[in-house]
């Protein structure tokens, strides 16, 4: 079942079980579902679920967050719950499993300095291994699995919305990205366009330490005689593709512009296209990957606040 088919099947009598290892993004996914209009209950004891579902008919779909912190959590109990939901003719149930690579989970725990729920006195690494082993049978039963390795909360929101957005009249969401080819392509790009042929502000000493959001840098890039025909053709292509993707049922499109350092040319083009699409009425967001990386690095260099 693809995302479009799934959202067509979800209705008020639908249940989404959201689970996965601690640190993989379950809490973020739950918040996204709540924003989408789902009735959300986090960490409901499994023993209370039948009573909840046998109550008055809901007027909107239900999302339940389940993890090892649940009072009566157990792999066998969760599998039995999934089987019981699947057997009900009055419910449409889906299991959303959030996963991430072990190294990524360890990194996230080291950044937050939280204790793992299965390793109160051990290292987070021990708890992560125990939890991943415990959840192997649940992972195998997942209807939708989202690997959040390398994803930001923004990226995860887009992915959850792609599968579970049931809002009437929802728009096609567009994200325009700038990035550095030195660091490789960001994940999930639908369209990628190389901007390295445009004149480079890096070689102008007065502009080198600014970025493409600066009007002087943007003007410098736009003065390249190839810029206007390039941008006009890109805009025409996007104008053709967006309605076509929307008609096809796609809920999100990612467009990436890359340059050598991800600071000047790709940023300027991203800003200009995002602005033009917003004026046309599209739901647009933008990401500047290199700018975000530098901001995180600068914050890290400052050290923790005291």
In a domain, 193, yes or no: yes
* Domain's final residue, options 164, 181, 214: 164
Residues 185, 155, single domain; the answer is no
Which residues, 6+ apart, have CB-to-CB distance to 224 below 8 Å? 198, 199
Q: Are 258 and 181 in contact (CB under 8 A)?
A: yes
Residues 65, 136, single domain; the answer is yes
Surface-to-core class of residue 201, CB atoms within 10 Å of its CB (0-12 exposed, 13-18 middle, 19+ buried): buried
The sign of the CA dihedral 180, 183, 188, 192 is positive
Residue-by-residue pLDDT tens, the chain, 306 positions: 655 666 656 666 688 999 988 888 998 999 999 988 899 988 888 778 778 877 776 788 889 888 777 666 778 888 888 888 888 777 788 889 999 888 888 887 766 556 666 666 666 677 788 888 888 888 888 888 999 988 888 888 888 887 888 765 567 889 999 999 999 888 778 999 999 999 999 999 999 999 999 999 999 999 999 999 999 999 999 999 999 988 877 778 899 999 999 999 999 999 999 999 999 988 888 889 898 888 767 765 655 443
* Domain's final residue, options 164, 191, 210: 164
Distance from C-alpha of 50 to C-alpha of 52, rounded to nearest angstrom = 5
In a domain, 304, yes or no: no
Residues 58, 198, single domain; the answer is no
pLDDT, residue 205, reads 95
Residues 68, 106, single domain; the answer is yes
In a domain, 305, yes or no: no
Residues 156, 180, single domain; the answer is no
Residues 22, 149, single domain; the answer is yes
User: Number of C-alpha atoms within 13 angstroms, CB side, residue 279?
Assistant: 7
In a domain, 201, yes or no: yes
Question: From its phi and psi, is residue 109 left (phi > 0), alpha (psi between -120 and 50) or beta?
Answer: alpha
Which residues, 6+ apart, have CB-to-CB distance to 163 below 8 Å? 3, 6, 7, 96, 144, 146
In a domain, 214, yes or no: yes
Query: Which strands make up the sheet holding 191-194, listed edge to edge?
Result: 191-194, 252-259, 173-180, 283-288
Residue tagged 């003719």 (tokens) = 89
The domain spanning residue 31 has which CATH number?
A: 3.40.50.300
Query: Which residue range is the domain that position 246 belongs to?
Result: 173-299
Residues 178, 155, single domain; the answer is no
In a domain, 261, yes or no: yes
Question: What separation in angstroms does the CA of 95 have from each of 82, 124, 133, 140, 251?
Answer: 8, 26, 18, 10, 21
How far does CA 110 lie from the centroid of its chain?
21
Structurally, how many domains does the chain consist of?
Answer: 2
For residue 146, give the H/E element and its range: strand 144-147
Which residues, 6+ apart, have CB-to-CB distance to 73 below 8 Å? 46, 66, 67
Residues 11, 155, single domain; the answer is yes
* Domain's final residue, options 146, 164, 182: 164
Q: Are 208 and 216 in contact (CB under 8 A)?
A: no
Residues 98, 219, single domain; the answer is no
Residues 153, 248, single domain; the answer is no
In a domain, 306, yes or no: no
Q: Are 86 and 93 in contact (CB under 8 A)?
A: yes
Residues 13, 123, single domain; the answer is yes
In a domain, 97, yes or no: yes
Residues 264, 207, single domain; the answer is yes
How far does CA 60 lie from the centroid of its chain?
23
């Amino acid at each position: 079942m693809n995302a479009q088919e799934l959202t067509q099947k979800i209705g008020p009598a639908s249940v989404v079980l959201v689970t996965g290892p601690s640190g993989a993004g379950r809490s973020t996914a739950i918040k996204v579902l709540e924003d989408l209009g789902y009735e959300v209950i986090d960490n409901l004891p499994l023993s209370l679920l039948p009573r909840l579902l046998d109550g008055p008919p809901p007027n909107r779909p239900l999302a339940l967050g389940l993890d090892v912190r649940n009072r009566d959590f157990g792999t066998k109990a969760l599998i039995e719950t999934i089987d019981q939901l699947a057997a009900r003719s009055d419910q449409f149930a889906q299991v959303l499993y959030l996963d991430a690579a072990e190294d990524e989970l360890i990194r996230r725990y080291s950044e937050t300095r939280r204790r793992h729920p299965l390793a109160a006195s051990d290292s987070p690494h021990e708890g992560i291994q125990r939890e991943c082993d415990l959840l192997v049978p649940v992972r195998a039963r997942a209807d939708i699995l989202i690997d959040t390795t390398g994803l930001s909360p923004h990226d995860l929101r887009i992915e959850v919305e792609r599968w579970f957005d049931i809002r009437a009249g929802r728009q096609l969401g567009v994200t325009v990205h700038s990035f550095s080819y030195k660091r490789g392509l960001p994940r999930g790009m639908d369209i990628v366009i190389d901007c390295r042929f445009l004149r480079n502000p890096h070689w102008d000493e007065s502009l080198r330490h600014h970025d493409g959001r600066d009007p002087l840098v943007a003007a410098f890039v736009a003065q390249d005689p190839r810029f206007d025909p390039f941008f006009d053709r890109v805009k025409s292509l996007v104008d053709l593709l967006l309605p076509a993707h929307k008609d096809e049922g796609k809920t999100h499109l990612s467009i990436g512009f890359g340059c050598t350092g991800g600071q000047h040319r790709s940023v300027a083009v991203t800003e200009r296209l995002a602005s033009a699409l917003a004026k046309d009425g599209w739901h647009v967001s933008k990401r500047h990957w290199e700018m975000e990386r530098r901001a995180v690095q600068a914050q890290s260099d400052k050290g923790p606040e005291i």
